[in-house]
A = this chain, B = another copy of it.
Amino acid sequence: MLAQGQGTIGVSATLVRGGTSKCWLFDVADIHGRGASTEEVLLAAFGARDHNQIDGVGGATSTTSKAAIVAHSYEPGVDIDYTFAQVGVGVERVEWGSNCGNCATAVGLYAVQSGLVRPRGDRTRVRMRNTNSAARIDAVVATPGARFRPTGDAVVPGVSSPGVPVGLEFLNPVGGRLLPTGRAVDTLEASGARARATLVDAGAPAALVDAASLGLTGAESVPEFAERLPGLLGLRRAAAIGMGLSTPDGPVSHAVPKLGLVGPATDYTTTGGARITAGEFDVSVRMASMHAPHPVIGLTSMVAVAAAATVPGSTVRAHAPAKSGEIRIGTAAGVVSASLSLARDGGLTGVTLHRSARVIARADIFVPAAREPAAAR
């Protein structure tokens, strides 16, 4: 914290890349009780008002306008509580309704860097609770020789630069019922289109459509998928109703359920031009989010795909039997992999995603003070 003269408060923060996102991380002690609410501080710090965030530290896109508030946890068995904030771009609003797996990765690395969690051995486990979703997630951070390292050699699709290897473990990711309809496969119908799909609720609710039942492969390019997507939104609505997320007359959230195409592994070329052979992965997946193709795959969607692999007869299981303990997913940007932890009865107890993170900068952000005092959040 720095005093910077009248009308401005200095707030310490750390910029960390987690996977394919940039997140500004704030220690709760640095952002609370600063004469403005946390939301006001974030909006002013990011410059949310302008669509290009030109007067703040935001990056003016959904993946670069993220923050998290990090605190020591008082919950037994938990090290860190973190609260994720999606800061508006061109709108003075913060969305607090969801978690972000990429920011969770960033929080894990930050917890070790900042000393909130002490390095223990070559891999340090950071036990985290996301306060937005109440999800328990562990980050396993590479700390060779029990020392914090700011960078490493782990690379994830969508980022060409390497970072510290971080395993992100979603513990007991099945919140309610893994199969909300009770069936491994449902038939979705809308406007004359019919498709086979597995409807799962793990990580996030997702409709994982058998691409072949639509005459597709699951290995479409991003533009090809974008072209077909409008015709699939009716099927998504049918899935939302089937999963109890909406009613025939009700609206369907843009965020969930996630919609995905699933198909067999096949040789293909990534968006970046790399050639991938069928032997390098198990299952082709193309996910859509917010009515647009995801360039890679969201982390909560990865959990859903991994969970579906544990279900006999599901659209994913045909290509990727979970018993190997690992699933390699071919996305438009490249191959991502997840490890599964199974109970003796085959039930899913955890999904670990292999990610990377890097500390980019440590900063004092100068936040213009609000003109009038406002209630603290």
Chain A residues packing against B (C-beta within 8 Å):
2, 4-8, 15, 17, 20-22, 47, 49-50, 52-57, 59-61, 63-64, 147-151, 158-163, 358-366, 368
Contact = CB atoms under 8 A, between A and B. Distances in A.
A335 to B, nearest CB: 18
Given A149-B5, A150-B366, A151-B368, A54 B361 contact: no
A273 to B, nearest CB: 13
Given A52-B61, A54-B158, A59-B64, 14 more contacts: A5-B147, A7-B149, A7-B150, A8-B151, A15-B57, A49-B160, A50-B160, A50-B161, A53-B59, A59-B60, A60-B64, A150-B366, A360-B366, A362-B364
B6 A149 contact: yes
A342 to B, nearest CB: 34
A10 to B, nearest CB: 8
Contact of A365 (B54, B55, B360, B368): B360
Interface of A is mostly: loop
Given A50-B159, A57-B15, A64-B54, A365 B358 contact: no
A6 B153 CA distance: 13
Contacts of A162: 368
Contacts of A17: 54-55
Contacts of A53: 59
Nearest to A148: B5
Contacts of A63: 52, 54
A257 to B, nearest CB: 27
A57 to B, nearest CB: 6
A158 B55 CA distance: 11
A5 B366 contact: no
A361 B13 CA distance: 10
Nearest to A50: B160
A55 B361 contact: no
B159 A55 contact: yes
Contacts of A2: 362
Contacts of A8: 150-151
Contacts of A366: 150-151, 358-362
A365 B160 CA distance: 19
A24 to B, nearest CB: 10
A360 B53 CA distance: 11
B151 A22 contact: no
A362 B360 contact: no
A8 B359 CA distance: 10
Given A50-B160, A362-B364, A59 B56 contact: no
Contacts of A361: 57, 363-366
Most buried by B among A2, A4, A60: A4
5 contacts: A7-B150, A8-B150, A20-B54, A47-B161, A360-B365
